[in-house]
Structure 1
Amino acid sequence: MKFRYKHSILIGVAILSLSACVTKKYEHPQLKSEGLYRDNNTTDTTTIADLQWKTLFSDTTLQSLIQQGINENLDLKQAIERIKIAEATLIQSRGALLPSLQADVNVTDNKQSQASLNFPPGININLETQTYKAQLSTSWEADIWGKLSSAKRGAYATLLQSDAAKRAVQTQLIATIANNYYTLLALDKQLAITEETIKVRTKDVETMKELKQGAVVNGAAVVQSEANLYAAQVTLPDLKRSIKEAENALSVLVAKAPNAINRTTLDQQTPYANLQTGVSAQLLKNRPDVIAAEFGFRSAFENTNVAKAYFYPALTITATGGLSSLQLQDFFSKSIFYNLVGGLTQPIFAKGANKARLKTAEANQQIAFYNFQQTLLTGGQEVSNALYAYQTASEKEATRAKQIASLTKAVDFTKELLRYSSATNYTDVLTSEQSLLTAQLSGINDRLQKLQSVVNLYRALGGGWK
């Protein structure tokens, strides 16, 4: 008994040694993950990616929209179904390591033609027989070269890749909802400013008509003021259309038919200010698409192992046993049968199939590695871009406020001068008013850029799925 036990251990060690010669153990690829954030050499590992999205977004209306999106978004639901597919594939690959088993019960009725049998005359033979059979069949392939184990590990990596991809969809979904929401608030603000401008310019037209009657200005000033009014009015339809489109986009993101969106105002929004990025190496564990890319590489690596194993012989053991009888009354006595077959199958000429399989697997592995590398670099780029966008928006904010204040005074001064000085004409008023409206709208875009850069930085760092 001890001899058999030692013998089994030796066989197991030998099989593992042979497997190690063919398949390789996966090792994490050495990619340069430091210094991916341009002009940001912090060593502090604190990052906003670890924040829950409800902490980053204080607007409860936006929080409600994001939660609806997580619950109902159709892209996210598709990602969840892909996880189920990957889980089923993993279960199937695990089962490949076990022997198969199937049961078969059948009754066969067989009748020969007397004319087809060369029997002498006078011989009476029963030409019809019935066979009753019940059997169990099993088959098992020994995983000598690690082919089945590699396939199982590859399927597991694919499952983890699908799960990471689902998280990537969620982080993108949260960012898209937030960005669209802020865009909608900015459009509301632009519409409000434009409508207020129209009211002011309507009064300007009336004022110009009164000044013309008093011979302070001529008819040109009146028509110029009217044109200035029309220039503001003509922008209203496009703004209203953009608002409808933004509402429709948000509705689809939360899996609802296009409709009005409940919202607050742009002035109520407070951007999250403590924008800590951590170190760029943290993208490897925080950013879902980077994680998914590595699992994609790992799956391709295991597929290469599988392709290598096809060049070596496969050991298969099959067994069949059961009961078989020509008479139903004898079915359970003297009717036992079985057969046991063990064999090695060595591929000799497969018309290039094994070589093509290996070359394809190796190329796919290299493609997956490049994709992993590209995804990591893209992550660093997006973090840097978001940081610069936030910095430039912050820099513009203070200057833009001063510009708007100065232009507001300029409009007031030119209007007053127009009443009392012949050195000023309506062109000066027109220019200052148009500059003020442009500055006001640009200020809204600055505010939107600042809000969206926080969102984009949060997504670029991998926030939103924890």
Structure 2
Amino acid sequence: MITKYKIPFFAALAATLLLSACVTKKYERPATIKTEDAFRDLKGTDTVTMAKMPWEKLFSDDKLKALIARGLAQNVDLKNAVENMVQAQATLRQAKLGYYPTLSANADVTHNKQSRSALNFPAGINIRTLTDTYRAFLSTSWEADIWGKLSATKRAALASYLQTDAAKRAVQTQLIADIANAYYNLIALDEQLRITEETVDTRIKNIEVVKALKEAAIVNGAAVVQAEANRYAAEVTIPDLKQSIRETENALNILLSQPPGAIDRNQLASELVYQDLAVGVSAQLLQNRPDVQQAEFAFRNAFENVNLAKTYFYPSLTLTGNGGASTLHLENFFKQSIFYSIVGSLTQPIFNRGLNKQRLTTAQSVQVQALNTFQQTIYVAGQEVSNALYSYEMAVQKKDTRTKQIESLTKAVDYTEQLLQYTSTTNYTDVLTSQQSLLSAQISGINDQLQQLQAVVELYRALGGGWQ
């Protein structure tokens, strides 16, 4: 049962909430934010998406999974993102305590000497002009949240905290993608180096064959020199490949936040490409992409800062009080020395040199910028999904054609080398051209496979996978 003493309290509370609602607004996602058609050429309605799949299921390579796990445990950027969350959480905790009054304990001693002539007392009156005052007291202050200032501050701090949480998840998804892409690039370089070294060995043997043909007067000395130059053309690329391998290993170690060193890895031929590329619908970017969520929380923070700026135009009600003991003689400190005071103040800004208007204008401008960034982030997310999916499709299309090209060039090398031995009508330039074309096609085939592997990784990241 509500007593007559509680009725004024609830009435005051209802009035406060009503006044607050008149000044501040409740957050709702802007109707101008569009996710439709964010995926180019994808009009499906299937909401199954690979973004919700744990990253451990995306990769089949145990050594790669071990590197990713190490990176998630050690990466400095991810650790700093977690510390950003700690800082934002402390700010949120402070904002929640804003509803409570402050309380402080004070103790002071005042030694005071007054001028006798300045007191203007009649002659003959003896007064003390030198006094010592001893005080110990508690003081408190509390501001009523009439216009929603404290509520807006708390909601802004909450949005800021959620923004740092989304930022941490964005760092995590990017880290997984970076480690996987670097790993795939590393094993692709290994494969390029292997093929190049095998090609050099083959061309060294080919030089001996050409020399024998020269002795048999089937070719001339120019063919020998061309064969040697062809060998060096392949051999000279080996140092660059080794340098790229070393630099990629070092870059991968940086992602793992560990000193430079060798990376334990498998071969490119053993890698399996994930096939079930379910992308879902574009509206799911709002739930799955951490950077999209981060952009929305940034907008919510700006929205609440506008609410906060509006409250400064209205009066603030503050209650302050203090009480304790005060005496001129320390030995009488606990005898008839109690004092207290309670003050209620209502402050209405009238002229503040344009500070309140400037604060509101700035907050509204920041809110517009945050809204624009929110929408742009969705567009970028859709672009990345489209690019990754199309890159995968093009890599698949090239695979069969590239295989046929390599088979044809391998036969061309064999045929031209055999014709060179049995007929003088074949020019050695034909042999060189077919050999160079074969090596180039083999390197391109490795890059095609790398493109397919990395496209899956980029699609997974673009959809928001890696944190759920």
TM-score range (shorter-chain normalised) is over 0.9
Q: Tell me, in whole angstroms, the C-alpha distance in 2 between the residues paired with 1:122 and 1:171.
A: 88
Aligned to 2:3: 2
- Structure 1 residue 418, shift from structure 2 partner: 0.2
Partner of 2:379: 377
- Structure 1 residue runs without a partner (length 5+): none
For 1:16, the equivalent position in structure 2 comes to: 17
Q: Distance in 2 between matches of 1:204 and 1:165?
A: 57
Distance 1:145 1:94 in 2: 16
**Could you tell me which residue of structure 2 aligns to residue 176 of structure 1?**
178
Report the equivalent of 2:63. Answer: 61
Segment of structure 1 superposing worse, 383-392 or 328-337: 328-337
Partner of 1:436: 438
Deviations 1:301-332 (A, max 9, x none): 00000001111111111111111011122211
State the AA in 2 paired with 1:259.
G
Which residue type is aligned with residue 6 of structure 1?
A: I
Tell me which residue corresponds to 2:240: 238
The structure-2 alpha-carbon separation of the partners of 1:252 and 1:6, relative to structure 1 and needing over 3 Å to count, comes to: same
Query: Out of 275, 278, 282, which is 1:276 matched to?
Result: 278
Structure 2 Cα separation of the partners of residues 371 and 116 of structure 1: 67
Which stretch has the larger CA shift, 328-337 or 350-359? 328-337
Match of 2:398 in 1: 396
Distance between the aligned counterparts of 1:196 and 1:135, measured in 2? 88
Letter in 1 for 2:109: V
Question: Shift of the alpha carbon at 1:123?
Answer: 7.4
**Residue 120 to residue 373, structure 1, CA distance change in 2 (3 Å):** closer
Letter in 2 for 1:419: Q
Q: Does 2:97 match 1:95? A: yes
Between the aligned residues of both structures, percent identity stands at: 60
Name the SS for the 1:105 alignment partner. Answer: strand
Match of 2:312 in 1: 310
SS in 1 for 2:350: coil
Q: Give the C-alpha shift of residue 259 in structure 1.
A: 1.2
Q: How many residues align?
A: 466
Secondary structure, in 3 states, of the residue corresponding to 1:37?
Answer: coil
Matching residue of 1:28: 29
Partner of 1:151: 153
Return closer, same or farther for 1:168/1:196 CA change in 2, 3 Å cut-off: same
Task: Report how far residue 127 of structure 1 moved.
Answer: 4.7
SS of the counterpart of 2:107? Answer: strand
Q: Superposed, which structure 2 residues align to 1:57-136 within 5 Å?
A: 57-111=59-113, 127-136=129-138
Secondary structure at the counterpart of residue 365 of structure 1:
helix
* Counterpart residue identity of residue 301, structure 1: F
Compute the displacement of 1:130 (Å). 2.0
Per-residue deviation, 1:185? 0.4
Aligned pairs (5 A) from 1:276-425: 276-425=278-427
Structure 1 residue 124: deviation in Å? 6.6
SS in 1 for 2:340: strand
SS state of the match for residue 2, structure 1?
coil
Which one of 164, 187, 190 corresponds to residue 189 of structure 2?
Answer: 187
**SS at the partner of 2:207?**
helix
Distance, in Å, in 1 between the alignment partners of 2:382 and 2:114 is 80
Deviation track 1:145-204 (CA, whole Å, cap 9, x = no partner) reads 001100100100100010000000000000000000000000000000000000011111
Give 1:34 shift. Answer: 2.4
State the shift of 1:125 in Å. 5.5
- How far apart are the structure 2 equivalents of 1:113 and 1:307? 49
SS in 1 for 2:370: helix
The aligned amino acid for 1:132 is Y
Task: State the SS of the aligned residue for 1:36.
Answer: coil
Matched residue, 2:215: 213
Give distance in 2, aligned partners of 1:36 and 1:117: 82
Give the SS at the match of 1:3. coil
Alpha-carbon offset, residue 422 of structure 1: 1.3
The CA distance in 2 between the partners of 1:122 and 1:158, in whole Å, is 70
Q: Deviation per CA, 1:40-64, whole angstroms, max 9, x where unpaired? A: 1221111111111110011110011
Counterpart CA distance in 2 for 1:205 and 1:438 is: 20
C-alpha RMSD of the superposition: 1.6
Amino acid at match of 1:255: S
User: CA offsets per residue over residues 223-247 of structure 1, 9 Å max, x none?
Assistant: 1111111100111111011001100
Q: Give the drift of 1:115.
A: 8.9
